[in-house]
Amino acid sequence: MADAATQRARNADFWARTAPGWVNQADRHDEIGRPLGAVAFDWLRPQPGERVLDVGCGCGGTTAELARAVAPLGSAIGLDLAAAMVATARERFTTPDGAEPRFVAGDIETLDAVPGAPFDAVYSRMTLMLLADPVAGLTTVRRSMRAGARLAATVFRDGRVNPWLSAAMLGAAAYLGPLPPLPIGDEPGPFAFADAARVTRLLTAAGYTDIGLHPYDVTLDAPDDPEAVTEWLIEISPASAAYRDAEPTAQGHARRGAARLLERFRTAGVGYQLPTGLWLITARSDRTSTQ
Ligand SMILES: C[S@@+](CC[C@H](N)C(=O)[O-])C[C@H]1O[C@@H](n2cnc3c(N)ncnc32)[C@H](O)[C@@H]1O
């Protein structure tokens, strides 16, 4: 297994190369991906006037929702490693009068605290399992929370309950150039937080209390448009950069390859139903701690 510094450098490179795909798919992902974070939003119940943080905010859609919930006096800040996604989030959601939400580019693992701290509530959708050193990242988050503040995050459980993820990649891979290495052991990746006991250990090591992991099964409903749906899934996957670098003919083959493996999730004339197994992770910063 790679050490944390090597893995962190790999992550920065990976997200810089993957960001253009997420930027292309920002609107579609906001719409279809809503169930990926809804349970965390509901648990967090952000209140008007609160200061909230969105860790790994991508192109900003969830930060904008948080900002609406805490308006008019609250504030929402989205933090992301990928500068291109942060720039896109600002373009999509920053209003001319400079009102919230605000977006910050940075690595949650290496910051002392997130600008705008202390936060009353922290939200994160499908990011924590991707950290090179989750304890370092979760510790920055906790240091950025006021005492007793709440955290709600979603991550994937294991591959068996998220079969569409590998189907899209496997179907496309044969037609594309080299893909990033598959994660080994606890290395960052979609299923690195599958083991509830490990996640509890990581949160405990980072100083959280009231830790809970709750399984949720949700369905992502996508339209019956195989070209668009496969392009969305490939562009937000680890195959994103290889897809962008491929010739149009190879891209077409990749989409059709992914469509073949995704066919079992499709009802013609209705759309795709993608079964998705999540953990809702909930926790609080220590009520008495200030660091
Ligand atoms: C799977 S995407 C999820 C994006 C968004 N939360 C959503 O659900 O649409 C993971 C995001 O985490 C960001 N990320 C990964 N490692 C990070 C780190 N160390 N610090 C901050 N952001 C990070 C990536 O740049 C990417 O935007």
Q: If you average pLDDT over residues 261-282, what whole number do you get? A: 98
Is residue 41 a part of any domain in this protein? yes
Q: What is the CATH number of the domain that holds 21?
A: 3.40.50.150
CA-to-CA dists, residue 251 to 55, 163, 257, angstroms = 32, 22, 10
| 81 CA to centre of ligand 1 in angstroms | 7
Q: What residue owns the CA closest to ligand 1's atom 12? A: 56
Is residue 76 a part of any domain in this protein? yes
Three-state DSSP at 280 gives strand
Range of the domain at 70: 4-160+183-221+275-285
* Shortest-distance atom of ligand 1 to CA 110: 19
Is residue 178 a part of any domain in this protein? no
What was the pLDDT predicted at 185? 86
Q: Which two tokens stand for residue 119?
A: 């936060």
What was the pLDDT predicted at 250? 98
Q: If you average pLDDT over residues 239-255, what whole number do you get? A: 98
- pLDDT band at 97; cut points 50, 70, 90: low
- 134 pLDDT higher than 70: yes
Three-state DSSP at 212 gives strand
* Shortest-distance atom of ligand 1 to CA 30: 9
Question: Ligand 1 — pocket residues by CB below 6 A?
Answer: 11, 15, 29, 33, 36, 56-58, 62, 79-82, 85, 107-109, 125-127, 130-131, 137
**Location of structure tokens 């899934």:** 233
Choose the residue to mutate in 53, 81, 162, 235 for probing ligand 1, maximizing ligand atoms within 8 Å of C-beta.
81
Is residue 243 a part of any domain in this protein? no
* Shortest-distance atom of ligand 1 to CA 37: 8
17-74 tens-digit pLDDT: 999 999 999 999 999 999 999 999 999 999 999 999 999 999 999 999 999 999 999 9
